[in-house]
């Protein structure tokens, strides 16, 4: 089984430095990219079927094709790596950032070539202090060799790449919120159109791309689009960094073929449930995805199949719910997060999510009434797709609406018994 | 007043942006690194240095979880209260920290040693529950390890 994204990562947890990265074949793809025409790289990435790994799954090559090219294009153009990783339950980009920072830098050189960007930022969440130190070192190593800065690899093109540390807010990971954050403003989202590809950072054409997405690029350049497509078990190409947390025997993060079935992830890689607890459900791709249950264990974990099962692949990192954990309490915890992180720009979100949090807390502490079901349904509808400025609110109600569907009897029991059966001991 | 060192560090960031105010979060981080928190006077000084208004800087400062607009203790404990850590025992951990330190979340011990705050998912959910102390991650926490960790921060 091939694991291109993580193959170079050292088992001792230290970062791989420039010399070792190059000995393992690193920076050959960047050299190759500099000899290719930008449109040629975009075509290759389109053919590879690579889709964004940040949660939305948008086809990467297609996204680039909207960026104006050539001498008449506005300058400078920007390429930004989204390393904010604040989606609860998600810890996959950390693995790449800490283990192989040069892979990200090389991926960014490739992407910058494809869109003719001369400036780049790595937008890193402030809490990732180890990743920050390693990225700084890798950036210095690459600059000293002339792989970054002026005249990259003697191509005549410039690429100035800098690390930006964020101050900690989930909204900074949203593409247009991130652009505002980089401009030194609050991370409220921007209206689209204009799309960032045309008018992004400081009004210039910009591409924001997830860390894992970018790390795939050197390998696609090296080994080709067909190779990449065949890595996946289903239609969506490549490998995926999957993860699992919660009361499983071996929580962790694994690079596996895209489309690996949920059951295999949970039983073989995560080692099954801990002794004494049973599986009840799973958020398949981070906090803002719908629950799946035991009925869905044969679903292949790719964009298409998970969507068909009623959820989203999201970030591919799963949070497992067991039978000794209260589903109402878990969803309350999630809505507390989303209500707190709402940027306050639009009413259904800032108001609705706080209401959801309050109602869930009332149910959890024995003060719920049957009318609360209608109230919660109302919030999930108000916050659904199309009613809010950005995708935070629709994502926030995904675990809530699916919990109301799959764990309804647990909500009812809280209301009937006027207490949380889990908190008082079952 | 911003110290010459603070000014130099902020200028280094500001110089890379087409607009000076784009360095606002960098400036807040620099000041907090040197002083532990960001006072009203510091907000005004940063605003003047970046050619913008104090309100503008404060709107950014108050947006972020990692910028402190009130004084904090010598050590800042931030406990992850997000979903995987909650499943793995966040509430017990929080209660232990509160009773050990004799404070509520958001407070500072009377000797000024610790400030206790909640924080969102730290991206180490496979090692839950987690917390950071002075920027350093501590994972796989349980009620015993937590006492030993506190001793390391005099
Ligand atoms: C509230 C919110 C937070 C997000 N946080 C992140 C994040 O931390 N990292 C990320 O890559 N994408 C995040 N996204 C998705 C981005 O908006 C965007 O789709 C992504 O960075 C595009 O890159 P990709 O096409 O490579 O996935 C977030 C979206 C929303 C709505
Ligand atoms: S949906 Fe929420 S986070 Fe997004 S813009 Fe509206 S208030 Fe802000
Ligand atoms: S939920 Fe605590 S580290 Fe992710």
Reported as a single tens digit per residue, the pLDDT across A16-69 is 999 999 999 999 999 999 999 999 999 999 999 999 999 999 999 999 999 999
**pLDDT given at position A426:** 45
Q: Are residues A71 and A219 in the same domain?
A: yes
- Residue A244 included in any domain: yes
- Residue A313 included in any domain: yes
Q: Are residues A318 and A367 in the same domain?
A: no
Per the CB < 8 A criterion, the answer to whether A153 and A172 are in contact is no
Q: Which residues of chain B have pLDDT under 70?
A: none
**pLDDT given at position A425:** 53
- Residue A252 included in any domain: yes
Q: What is the ipTM of this complex?
A: 0.97
**Distances in whole angstroms, Cα of residue B15 to Cα of each of A9, A117, B4:** 35, 19, 16
Alpha-carbon distance of B28 to A167, in angstroms, equals 9
Alpha-carbon distance of B54 to B51, in angstroms, equals 10
Does residue B151 sit in helix, strand or coil?
helix
Tell which of A298, A322, A346 closes a domain. A322
Closest Cβ–Cβ partner in A187, A243, A246 for B87: A246
Q: A251, B59: Cβ pair inside 8 Å?
A: no
Residues 6+ apart with CB under 8 A from A117: A76, A77, A78, A79, A111, A159, A206, A207
- Supply the CATH number for residue A129's domain: 3.40.50.11540
Rounded to the nearest whole angstrom, what is the distance from the C-alpha of residue A267 to the centroid of ligand 1? 29
Does domain B75-151 fall under CATH 3.40.30.10? My reply is yes
Q: Are residues A91 and A202 in the same domain?
A: yes
Closest chain A C-alpha to B110 CA, distance in angstroms:
27
Does residue A159 sit in helix, strand or coil?
strand
Q: Are residues A84 and A194 in the same domain?
A: yes
Nearest to A265 by CA among A274, A255, A277, A278: A255
Fold of the domain built from segment(s) B4-63? Arc Repressor Mutant, subunit A (1.10.10)
CA angle A44, A49, A53 (to 5 degrees): 115
**pLDDT given at position A424:** 66
pLDDT tens-digit map of A102-161? 999 999 999 999 999 999 999 999 999 999 999 999 999 999 999 999 999 999 999 999
User: What residues does B128 pair with on adjacent strands?
Assistant: none
- Residue A10 included in any domain: no
Sign of torsion over alpha carbons B44, B48, B54, B57:
negative
The number of distinct structural domains making up chain A is 3
Q: What is the reported pTM? A: 0.97
Q: Are residues A65 and A175 in the same domain?
A: yes
Query: Within a 10 A sphere around the Cβ of A40, how many other Cβ atoms?
Result: 13
Q: Are residues A266 and A122 in the same domain?
A: no
B130 lines ligand 3 (CB under 6 A): yes
**pLDDT given at position A148:** 97
Provide, as residue numbers in chain B, all residues whose Cβ is less than 8 Å from the Cβ of A186: 59-60, 63
| Probe site for chain A from B28, B77, B123 (most A CB atoms < 10 A) | B123
Q: Are residues A120 and A243 in the same domain?
A: no
A83 → chain B, closest CA residue: B123
- Supply the CATH number for residue A275's domain: 3.10.20.600
Tell which of A302, A322, A342 closes a domain. A322
Q: B125, A247: Cβ pair inside 8 Å?
A: no
Residue ranges of domains in chain B? 4-63, 75-151
Q: Are residues A67 and A164 in the same domain?
A: yes
Q: Are residues A306 and A334 in the same domain?
A: no
| A361: containing domain | 327-424
Q: Which residues of chain A have pLDDT under 50?
A: 426
| Probe site for chain A from B63, B79, B93, B130 (most A CB atoms < 10 A) | B63
Nearest to A241 by CA among A229, A252, A228, A226: A252
Tell which of A304, A322, A340 closes a domain. A322
């Amino acid at each position: 089984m091939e694991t291109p994204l993580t193959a170079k990562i050292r088992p001792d947890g230290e970062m791989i430095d420039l010399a070792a990265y190059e000995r393992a074949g690193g920076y050959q793809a960047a050299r190759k990219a500099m000899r290719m025409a930008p449109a040629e790289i975009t075509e290759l990435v389109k053919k590879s079927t690579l889709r964004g790994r940040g949660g939305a799954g948008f086809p990467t090559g297609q996204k680039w094709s909207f960026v104006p090219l050539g001498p008449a294009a506005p300058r400078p153009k920007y390429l930004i790596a989204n390393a904010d990783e604040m989606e609860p339950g998600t810890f996959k980009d950390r693995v790449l950032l800490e283990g192989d920072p040069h892979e990200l830098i090389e991926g960014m050189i490739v992407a910058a070539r494809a869109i003719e960007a001369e400036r780049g930022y790595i937008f890193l969440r402030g809490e990732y202090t180890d990743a920050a130190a390693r990225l700084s070192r890798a950036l210095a190593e690459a600059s000293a060799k002339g792989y970054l800065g002026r005249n990259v690899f003697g191509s005549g093109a410039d690429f100035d790449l800098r690390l930006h540390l964020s101050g900690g807010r989930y909204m900074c990971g949203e593409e247009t919120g991130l652009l505002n954050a980089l401009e030194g403003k609050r991370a409220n989202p921007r209206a689209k159109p204009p799309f960032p590809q045309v008018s992004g950072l400081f009004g210039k054409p910009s591409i924001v791309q997830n860390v894992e997405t970018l790390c795939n690029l050197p390998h696609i350049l090296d080994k080709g689009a067909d190779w990449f497509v065949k890595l996946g078990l289903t239609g969506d190409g490549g490998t995926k960094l999957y993860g699992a947390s919660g009361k499983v025997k071996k929580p962790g993060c694994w690079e596996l073929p895209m489309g690996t079935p949920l059951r295999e992830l949970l039983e073989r890689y995560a080692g099954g449930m801990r002794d004494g607890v049973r599986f009840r459900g799973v958020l398949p791709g981070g906090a803002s995805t719908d629950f799946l249950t035991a009925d869905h264990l044969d679903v292949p974990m790719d964009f298409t199949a998970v969507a068909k099962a009623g959820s989203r692949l999201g970030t591919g990192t799963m949070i497992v719910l067991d039978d000794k954990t209260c589903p109402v309490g878990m969803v309350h915890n999630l809505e507390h997060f989303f209500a707190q992180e709402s940027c306050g720009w639009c009413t259904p979100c800032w108001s609705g999510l706080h209401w959801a949090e309050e109602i869930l807390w009332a149910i959890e502490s024995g003060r719920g009434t049957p009318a609360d079901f209608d109230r919660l349904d109302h919030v999930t509808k108000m916050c659904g797709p199309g009613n809010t400025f950005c995708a935070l609110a629709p994502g926030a109600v995904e675990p809530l609406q699916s919990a109301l569907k799959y764990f309804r009897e647990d909500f009812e029991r809280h209301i009937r018994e006027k207490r949380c059966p889990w908190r008082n001991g079952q | 007043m911003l110290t010459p060192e603070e000014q130099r560090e902020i200028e280094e960031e500001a110089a890379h942006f087409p607009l000076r105010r784009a360095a606002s979060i960098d400036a807040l981080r620099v000041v907090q690194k040197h002083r532990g928190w960001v006072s009203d006077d510091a907000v005004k000084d940063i605003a003047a240095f970046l050619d913008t208004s104090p309100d503008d800087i404060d709107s950014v400062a108050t947006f972020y979880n990692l910028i402190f607009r009130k004084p904090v203790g010598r050590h800042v404990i931030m406990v992850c209260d997000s979903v995987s850590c909650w499943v793995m025992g966040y509430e017990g951990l929080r209660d232990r920290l509160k009773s050990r330190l004799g404070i509520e979340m958001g407070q500072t011990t009377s000797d000024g040693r610790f400030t206790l705050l909640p924080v969102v998912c730290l991206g180490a959910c496979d090692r839950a529950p987690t917390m950071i102390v002075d920027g350093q991650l501590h994972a796989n926490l349980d009620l015993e390890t937590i006492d030993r960790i506190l001793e390391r921060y005099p």
